[in-house]
Copies of this chain bind each other. A is one copy, B any other.
C-alpha cells in the first residue's frame, strides 16, 4: 500500500445543508442539485459529502452517533490566517470550540466544527512547510 490517501468522505445528515456550508467557505464542486453525493477536488485528493447512514452501511460499520476519533486539519501560513478562517467558518454556521491561540507544540491554532460534528483544526505550524499549491510537508 502506497503512503497516501485518496478520498475522505464525511457522513452528513442533510446533504444540501452540508454542501452549502462548504460552499460558504469558498469551496466549489461540479455536483448537480439532484446528486446524492458531493465531491470536492482538494489538491491531489478528494473530500466527499454523503449521507451518514449510507456511508456507515457502505463502510461495514455500526453507527451509534457522535464523533468517531477523526479530526481534520487545514494548515495556513500565519496566525492571522488562522483567525480569519475561524471567523469565516463561524460566519458560515460552524461552532467554535476553540478560538485561535498559541498551542503547546509551538504553533497557533483554533478549531471549528461543521454542521455534522466534524472538527477541523485550523493551524499555523512554523515547523511545517505549506507550499504554493497548498501541499504540506513535514520538517525534514
Chain A residues near B (Cβ < 8 Å)? 1-12, 25-28, 30, 39-47, 52, 55-56, 58-75, 85, 88-89, 97-98, 111, 113, 116-119, 121, 123, 128, 130-131, 133-138
| Distance of A135 Cα from B46 Cα, bound (Å) | 9
Q: A5-B47, A45-B45 are in contact. Are A62 and B72 (CB under 8 A)?
A: no
Contact of A9 among B39, B58, B73, B74 (CB under 8 A): B73
In the complex, the answer to whether B41 meets A74 with C-beta atoms within 8 Å is no
In the complex, the answer to whether B25 meets A74 with C-beta atoms within 8 Å is no
Contact of A67 among B2, B62, B74 (CB under 8 A): B62
In the complex, the answer to whether B69 meets A117 with C-beta atoms within 8 Å is yes
- Residues of chain B within 8 A (CB-CB) of A89 are 1
| A134 smallest CB distance to B (angstroms) | 4
Q: Which residue, of A40, A59, A89, has the highest number of chain B Cβ atoms within 10 A?
A: A59
